[in-house]
Amino acid sequence: MPLLARMVPSPLSVDIRRGAVEGLAALLRDQRISSRGQVAVVVGPGQGEQIIAVVRPAFQNAAVYPVEGGTVEAAIELADSLRAGSYDAVVGIGGGRTLDVAKYAASLTGLPMVAVATSLAHDGIASPVASLDHDGHKGSHGVNVPIAVVVDLDKIPPFTDSKKVNAAIKDYAKMLLADSMVTNFYQKIGTMGMADLQNALGGLPVRNFSAGRLADVAAGEKFKMGGDHISQLNVSRGGEHTHACMPGCVIQCSNVYVDASGKEVVSPVEYETLGLLGTNCGLSDPDDLAQMNFLANDLGVDTIELGATLARRLAGILSAMLRDGTTYAPGVVSRRAAEAAVPV
Ligand code: SF4
């Protein structure tokens, strides 16, 4: 696997602590982002102005750009203003909308962006995507990942009534646990049960989307790539089939898949992986799929995209070989496969 394919972009610096905002100018200096504080500071409504007041003394050379809303137009307008100045970086201070506008404008102008989050209720702090409104619709726009992320725990607003919030969380958990869909389907079988349903309906991705059903269960064929079979197999081997992939989740639709000796292979095996990396690549045994899932995780590649790519390539190879009736050497096979790849 080439080195580049094993790399994940991430911020150079992540500073999460009380009083982190006071250290912003030092962070920019130490990380060689801006030695003189010549930055464009983008602030949103909320706490942006207050934070500016705190960091102002250390940012004498900074220009402040207030932004309202989270639209493509606001980001383009900001980018135009940035081009008129001369900055080392863009510092976005605010919630998700403000950071997304700042990220998009920074990407348009080729400037590094520092995210100073005043809210944690979104994933835009360090994501390579900006969610922006345009023409009444929200769209996702690819952007550069922020070069640094700052979260000042003193600046994150507390809940107005944390007792009420906790009570609502408890009530919601109770409602979930009273739902038979949660207890009988998600906890016992998990998302892999969707493979049984799709196989029955004929909507399962099979052999590069050339079929929608791997096994005709109504005609007595055994379907091993769905939750009905795998949950029983996994539990009988000592695997965990009611598992929370993150602490606190009461739905627990995840699983820990084990091999015949009871040793963990991968966690979890999910519907999307079963379909795209499994049946769509011609696999019919969950043990083979679990090994592929493990390899994908180990290489850091997405199982869905890997499965779709492999299936297409495999279909190309088969198509080329069937057409020519020839056996190719491995290098030739991949070249012929690329030529003959069947569009999905
Ligand atoms: S957090 Fe994990 S275990 Fe819980 S519902 Fe989501 S995927 Fe399932």
CA of 312 to the centre of ligand 1 (A): 30
Atom of ligand 1 nearest to the CA of 252: 3
Q: At residue 231, what is the residue type?
A: S
Which residues surround ligand 1 with Cβ inside 6 Å?
244-246, 249, 251-254
Q: In 85-150, which residue ranges form alpha helices assigned H by DSSP?
A: 96-109
CA of 242 to the centre of ligand 1 (A): 10
Cβ contacts of 18 within 8 Å, gap of 6 or more: 152, 153, 154
Atom of ligand 1 nearest to the CA of 250: 4
Query: For the chain, which domains are there?
Result: 3-152 (3.40.50.1970), 188-324 (1.10.569.10)
CA of 31 to the centre of ligand 1 (A): 37
pLDDT tens by residue, the chain, 344 residues: 455 566 677 899 999 999 898 899 999 999 999 998 899 999 987 777 778 888 888 888 899 999 988 999 999 999 999 999 999 999 999 889 999 999 999 999 999 999 999 888 877 788 899 999 998 899 999 999 999 999 999 888 888 899 999 999 999 999 999 999 999 999 999 999 999 999 999 999 999 999 999 999 999 999 999 999 999 999 999 999 999 999 899 999 999 999 999 999 999 999 999 999 999 999 999 999 999 999 999 988 999 999 999 999 888 777 777 777 666 555 554 555 455 444 43
Cβ contacts of 38 within 8 Å, gap of 6 or more: 61, 62, 86, 87, 88
- Indicate which residue's Cα is closest to atom 2 of ligand 1: 245
CA of 245 to the centre of ligand 1 (A): 6
